[in-house]
Amino acid sequence: MKLLTVVGARPQFIKAAAFSHAIQARGMGSLEKIVHTGQHYDRRMSELFFEQLGIPRPAYNLGIGGGSHGANTGRMLEKIEEVLLRENPNALLVYGDTDSTLAGAIAASKLMIPVIHVEAGLRSFNRHQPEEQNRILTDHVAEMCFCPTNAAASNLLREGIDENRIFRCGDIMADTTRLFGHRAEKCAVELLSEAGLSCLASTSQPFILATVHRAENTNEFGKLKSILSALRMVSENKTAGFAPLPVVLPIHPRTKQKIDTYKLGYLLDSLFITEPLDFMTMILLLRRSSLVVTDSGGLQKEAYLNGTPCITLRRETEWTELVKSGWNILVEPTDARSVVSAIKNQLAFDSSGARFPLYGDGYASDAILDQILKKII
């Protein structure tokens, strides 16, 4: 049996690491070949993940990135099809909701190769989001839809997908927390030093971890300015209610470009700005931070898995159970004061209690592999 896995962005590298560990633990290393589309081409957002997480080196690196959604998806589809024709795998596996995911799914389905979608069924119900479009289309061509939550499985049933194609497996990101969390703590001094964050080495130092990359925030001058202004206000104590808090902001390449274009660099002076960080450093910061402020889909869930409250800078989220539980709150960043108010409220959230196992037991990869071996062979 041969399984081809398509990845292209940071969240997919992390999920692929957990699944690859499950394959290797069974002595089945030859089962999987990885195709890297190149969607994330920065070394700290791509190559370093493979090194740190023990993911097998990609058999193919397509080198496609930096273009528009349509251009990227079209070029990926063409190149992935060439690989599929050469390799003739038993199935193609994709993760999440990126352009790489959709391109892989379409290419395989056109060749009648079964598509396996891990993290299926998530819905923000905002059809304008490229991610929402990608995951809906991928789910409907997939032969096997692995859902991280009951809500995700219910979404697919409502959309008319056959229940025999739906599998409730838990969330593969819970696996990565189990596999890598303690390892990151053991390397804390080294990781923080390399990131220029040695000042945060003390576990008693409170701080906020922030990320901003979504087009809906970075492409709008007003929203991006509101987000950065709010983070500066918090870091400089220009608001009542809590002491100033250091803010760590790893800058996504697209965000950096927009900050330069809009001439908003002056808002970064009081923040701890870093390049995009490797996964081990991010998981360490997630575990130690007082609060995560993000517009990322996956980071909302990673914050919860590491016991940290979160604010999501969006009107909606696909991880609705986090909002219901209180661990995550939504705020549209139309003005800085609303963001600061949300930060103040969420810093008061009591995170000391037990967390419900919303995303399974940390062994989703094994459940997924079991079903693939049963259904595809």
* Active-site residue, 213 included: yes
Which tokens sit at 206? Answer: 């409170």
> Of the listed 21, 36, 40, 213, which one is catalytic?
213
Residue reference for tokens 């079964």: 114
163, HSE (Cβ side, Cα atoms, 13 Å): 3
DSSP-derived 3-state class of residue 134 = helix
**Are residues 292 and 310 in contact, defined by beta-carbon separation less than 8 angstroms?**
yes
Cα 339 from Cα 355, distance rounded (Å)? 25
Do 147 and 156 form a contact (C-beta atoms < 8 A)? Answer: yes
Is 145 in a helix, a strand, or coil? strand
Supply 32's token pair: 């999987």
- C-alpha 302/C-alpha 310 separation (Å) is 10
Cβ-Cβ contacts under 8 Å for 260 (sequence gap 6 or more): none
Beta bridge partners of 293: 210, 311
CB atoms within 10 A of CB 88: 11
Give φ, ψ of 17 to 5 degrees. Answer: -65, -45
Active site residues: 213
